[in-house]
Structure 1
Amino acid sequence: MTISRAEFEQRTNRLRSKMKEKGLDALVVFADEYRPGHATYLTGYRPINLIEESPQLVFLVGDEAPVVLIGRLNSYAAKDIIWMDDVRPIHLDGEYIPQIVRSIADKPARVGLIGDNLLPVSRFNTIKKALPKATFESVTQLLIDLRQIKTPAEVALMERAADINDVVLKAVLDKIRVGMTEIQVAGIAETVARDMNAHLASATLVLSGMNTNYPAWWPSERKIERGDYVMLDFNPGCSNYTNDGGTTILMPGAAKEQKDALRLGHRILKEIIPQIKPHTSARTVHDMMLERLEPHGFAPNFTPYAKGLRGVGHGVGVDVVEPPNLSSDSDFMLQPGMTLAIKFDLHGLPQGGLRAEVVILITETGIRPLNKLILDTPEDMAILA
C-alpha cells in the first residue's frame, strides 16, 4: 500500500499551476529531517536522520523538471525511491543551485519559498547568490492548502496507521504494570508497532505521575507507581503517513476523583466527535469541550492549554503535526478531506494531567473516525483495577 507515481506527479503539477497563478517564476520547497512533510509530500522520500544533516530542497523552475537536493548518504537510496529523475547531494548546493536556476539567473524573477520558517540562513544565502536579481516571498500556504485535503490513497494509509495505534494502545493496557519505567512502557508500544510493520513517525511520549503535567516528555527511568496517571502519546506511520493517537492510563489504587476525570475525558470525546460537521467553524471543537467541562469545574485545567497552537487538535498527514491548528483561536472552516487529531487535555490536577486523542476524517456529511478504540469501548477502558 503506497502512493502511486501518478499521484505524486499530480501533486507537483497542481503546485506548479498554483505557482503560475501567483505569477511566480520558481518555487523552492524546504523541509528538514525532523519536519519532512513539505518535501516528502512531493518526493515520497522520508530522510533517515541522526546519521547526517539531511534536509530536502525541491526546486520547481518554470516548466523545467523538478530537482531535489538531499543529504549525501540519503541520496543513494533517494535516487531509487524518489519518482523525480534529478536527485543530487545537498552538501554540494553551492555548485548545483546555480545550475538548477540558470534559466532565470539574469532575470528579475519572482521566487516563492515554501518552508522558509525552517530554511537556514546560510542555505538561503546560497540561493540568493545564484539569483541576484530575484525577489523572494513566502508562499508556504500554497502547499499547505494542497496537503490539508487528503486523497483516498492517503486516507487508506492513515487508517492503517490508526488501526496499528489502536492495537498498540490495547497491548499497553494489557501489559503495563506498577514498577515499570516510562522507558519500558515506550518499549512495549514501539515493539508492537514494529511487529506490525509500522515506522515510528515521531518520538514516543510516556509521562507518569506528576510528569503528566508536562505537554511533552521524553520517557525516563521513573518507575510507575500505584494511582499514577500514565499518559501515552504514540505515533506510528505507514508509507510515510502517520497517526497521532493516545490515551491516559490510570493505574490501580487511584482516587475516585482521578477516575471521574478520566471517564469525563473519554465521554466528552465520544459526545463531541459525532457532532463535528464540514463547513462549520473549527472553533466549535473547543467550544463543545469547554461547554461540557464547565459544570464539572475543570475549565481552569483545560482553558490555559486550549489556547494557541494545537490546543484541542491539529492536522495529521505526512507529518504527525501539521496545519491546521485547532484551538480556542481557530477561525477556519472544516473542509471535507481534512484529517484531524482531536485532543482532550486536562493539566494541573492534584495528581497531574491527562490526555486522550483520536484522529478523524472530515467527510461530506460528517466525520469518520480513523482511531476507533477509545470511541468504541467503555469510558473506563483505561482505568486499571
Structure 2
Amino acid sequence: MRSPFEHRIAACQRRLERVDAALAVLVPGPNLTYLTGFEESPSERHLLLFVPQIGDPVVVAPSMYDAQLRTLPIETLAVRLWDDDDDPLEEIEAVLAELLATVDDGRSSSGDDGSPTVLVDDRMWATFTQDLRECAPAATFDLASRVLEQLRIRKDDVELEALRRAGTIADRVSLEIRSRGTELVGTTEAELADEIERLLAEHGGGDPAFETIVASGPNGARPHHHSGDREIERGDPIVLDFGAFVEADLEDGTGRYPGDQTRTIVVGEPAAEYERYEQVHETVREAQRAAVDAVEPGVTAGSIDRAARDVIEEAGYGDAFVHRTGHGVGLEVHEPPYIVADDERELEPGMVFSVEPGIYLEGEFGVRIEDLVVVTEDGVERLNDSPRGWETGDDVRS
C-alpha cells in the first residue's frame, strides 16, 4: 500500500503534466513537508527536492541528513548526498540534466520556445533560484504554486482529523479561561498569554501556532496587538486569539496542523466606558453566523466575505471592519483560500479556512470572533465549538 506521501507525489506529477511543466523543485518548507513528510528549517545549505513529471523524485541534500531522508515512507525517492567539502552545484546540475532529458524525447513538457519549464518553490531563496538558472540555462522558470496550491488547498481525511483535534484543544482552553471570570482581574496581558500557551500544551497541543494575542480594553482595537504589561481590569473586553500545532497521523512523516480561534470576553459586566460593547459584540457574532451559514461548495470566497461585511455595514460599523473575513489554514496558519472581497475562487469540499469578522473602535475596544470551518459535500462544519458570547465565570452562555 502506498503511503500518503507517495499518493501526493503522484498527484503532483499529474498536475505537472496538466500545466505542461517538466518538474518542480522544492526547498525546506511546507511544500516539501506536504510531499515527503520531511520537516526542516531553511538554511544556506542546498537541500532540494526534484519532482519530475515522469520518473522518480530525487532529493539532493547534505550528507548529515542521510539517515532522516532514508526513513521517509517514499520507496521511489532517490537520495543524492554531498559533503561540506563538495560543490553541491555539481550534483544539482547532474540531476537537472537527467530529469530534463525527458524533454528531448517528447515525453515531458516544454515552453513555447521549446525550453523545459521548471517550477520553483515560491519561497525559495534567490541564491538557490540563481543556482538553478545557472545549472539549467535553457529552462524557463515559473512558480510551484501552479501545482502545489491546488493540491494543498483541499485537505484529506488525515489532515482534517488533525485540524479537528487542534480545534478541540483550543475549545478546552477557551472554556477554562472563561471559567476564571473575575480571577483574571490584575493579570497582565502577557501573563495571560503565557497561561494560555501553558494550557494549550497541557491539553495536548504542541508549539503555539502563532504569537498568542491577549488585547484588553482599548488595546483590542488593534487586530494584531502584541500582548503587553497592561493589567486586566474589571469590566474590560478582552480579545483572545490563540491556537497550537498538533501532529497529523502520517506514518513516518511529519505534518503539523494548527488551531486558530478568537473569542472576545468581558471580566464581569462591561464597564461604563464600554457602553456600546454589547451591541458591537452581537453585531460581530451575527456577522460571523451569516458568513458561516453562507459556506457551501460552489459559492465564492468573496461571497463569504460579503455575507459578514453586509451585517457589519448595516449596523453602521463598516469602516471599523478593517481586514478580510478569513484565511485558509493547513500546514501554514495563513494559506489559500483567502476569504476576501471580490475573490472569485469557488469553494470546494475539503477547504479549511477561518471566519473571523471584527469591529475595531480606536481608543475604545475591539471585538473579533473566529472559528475554523471546513467545506463539506453539502455545506459546512465548524471545527470550533466553544461559547462565542462575552460572558465569563458562572455566567457563561453559548
Q: Tell me the residue number matched to 1:140.
A: 145
Give the SS at the match of 1:241: strand
Is 1:29 the equivalent of 2:26? yes
Aligned pair partner of 2:93 in 98, 103, 113: 98
Q: Tell me the residue number matched to 1:327.
A: 340
Q: Tell me the residue number matched to 1:347.
A: 360
Distance between the aligned counterparts of 2:226 and 2:47, measured in 1? 27
Distance between the aligned counterparts of 2:392 and 2:62, measured in 1? 43
Q: 1:76 to 1:173 in 2, by over 3 A?
A: farther
Contact 1:93 1:126 in 2 (8 A): no
Distance between the aligned counterparts of 1:198 and 1:99, measured in 2? 43
Distance between the aligned counterparts of 2:202 and 2:392, measured in 1? 23
Aligned pair partner of 2:265 in 220, 240, 249: 249
Alpha-carbon shift at residue 326 of structure 1 (Å) = 0.7
Moved more, 265-274 or 232-241: 265-274
Q: 1:109 to 1:154 in 2, by over 3 A?
A: same
Q: 1:104 to 1:53 in 2, by over 3 A?
A: closer
Q: Tell me the residue number matched to 2:294.
A: 275
Alpha-carbon shift at residue 75 of structure 1 (Å) = 7.0
Aligned pair partner of 1:120 in 125, 131, 134: 125
Q: 1:72 to 1:363 in 2, by over 3 A?
A: same
Give the SS at the match of 2:369: strand
Q: 1:381 to 1:86 in 2, by over 3 A?
A: farther
Distance between the aligned counterparts of 1:74 and 1:142, measured in 2? 27
Q: Give the residue type in structure 1 aligned to 2:299.
A: T
Give the SS at the match of 1:101: helix
Is 1:131 the equivalent of 2:174? no
Distance between the aligned counterparts of 1:267 and 1:73, measured in 2? 54
Is 1:63 the equivalent of 2:54? yes
Q: 1:382 to 1:98 in 2, by over 3 A?
A: farther
Q: Give the residue type in structure 1 aligned to 2:165.
A: R
Q: Tell me the residue number matched to 1:188.
A: 195
Contact 2:220 2:239 in 1 (8 A): yes
Is 1:221 the equivalent of 2:234? no
Alpha-carbon shift at residue 297 of structure 1 (Å) = 1.6
Q: Give the residue type in structure 2 aligned to 1:280.
A: V
Distance between the aligned counterparts of 1:214 and 1:198, measured in 2? 27
Alpha-carbon shift at residue 312 of structure 1 (Å) = 0.3
Deviations 1:206-250 (A, max 9, x none): 223333233323332332233333222212222112222121222
Distance between the aligned counterparts of 1:358 and 1:367, measured in 2? 12
Distance between the aligned counterparts of 1:96 and 1:45, measured in 2? 21
Q: 1:198 to 1:53 in 2, by over 3 A?
A: farther
- Percentage of matched positions with identical amino acids: 24
Q: Tell me the residue number matched to 1:111.
A: 117
Moved more, 275-284 or 98-107: 98-107
Alpha-carbon shift at residue 154 of structure 1 (Å) = 1.4
Aligned pair partner of 2:186 in 172, 176, 179: 179
Deviations 1:181-213 (A, max 9, x none): 222112222112212332223332222333323
Distance between the aligned counterparts of 1:27 and 1:171, measured in 2? 46
Is 1:316 the equivalent of 2:307? no
Give the SS at the match of 1:187: helix
Distance between the aligned counterparts of 2:347 and 2:283, measured in 1? 25
Contact 1:337 1:361 in 2 (8 A): yes
Taking structure 1 as the reference length, the TM-score comes to 0.83
Q: 1:138 to 1:216 in 2, by over 3 A?
A: same
Distance between the aligned counterparts of 1:55 and 1:345, measured in 2? 43
Give the SS at the match of 2:368: strand
Q: Give the residue type in structure 1 aligned to 2:116.
A: R
Distance between the aligned counterparts of 1:77 and 1:225, measured in 2? 51
Q: Tell me the residue number matched to 1:44.
A: 37
Moved more, 202-211 or 53-62: 53-62
Taking structure 2 as the reference length, the TM-score comes to 0.81
Distance between the aligned counterparts of 2:319 and 2:66, measured in 1? 50
Deviations 1:22-81 (A, max 9, x none): 3322211245xxxx32222112233368xx678964211343432345788777655545
Q: Give the residue type in structure 2 aligned to 1:60.
A: V
List alignment gaps of at least 5 residues for structure 2.
Answer: 105-113, 248-255
Distance between the aligned counterparts of 2:187 and 2:137, measured in 1? 59
Distance between the aligned counterparts of 2:260 and 2:155, measured in 1? 16
Is 1:292 the equivalent of 2:311? yes
Contact 2:118 2:139 in 1 (8 A): no
Distance between the aligned counterparts of 1:208 and 1:349, measured in 2? 13
Distance between the aligned counterparts of 1:70 and 1:215, measured in 2? 41
Q: Tell me the residue number matched to 2:13.
A: 16
Give the SS at the match of 1:168: helix
List alignment gaps of at least 5 residues for structure 1.
Answer: none
Alpha-carbon shift at residue 158 of structure 1 (Å) = 0.9
CA-based RMSD:
3.0
Alpha-carbon shift at residue 104 of structure 1 (Å) = 4.7
Distance between the aligned counterparts of 2:212 and 2:385, measured in 1? 20
Q: 1:281 to 1:184 in 2, by over 3 A?
A: same
Distance between the aligned counterparts of 1:224 and 1:135, measured in 2? 57
Which entry has the higher C-alpha Rg, 1 or 2?
Answer: 2
Distance between the aligned counterparts of 2:47 and 2:189, measured in 1? 34
Q: Give the residue type in structure 1 aligned to 2:294.
A: Q
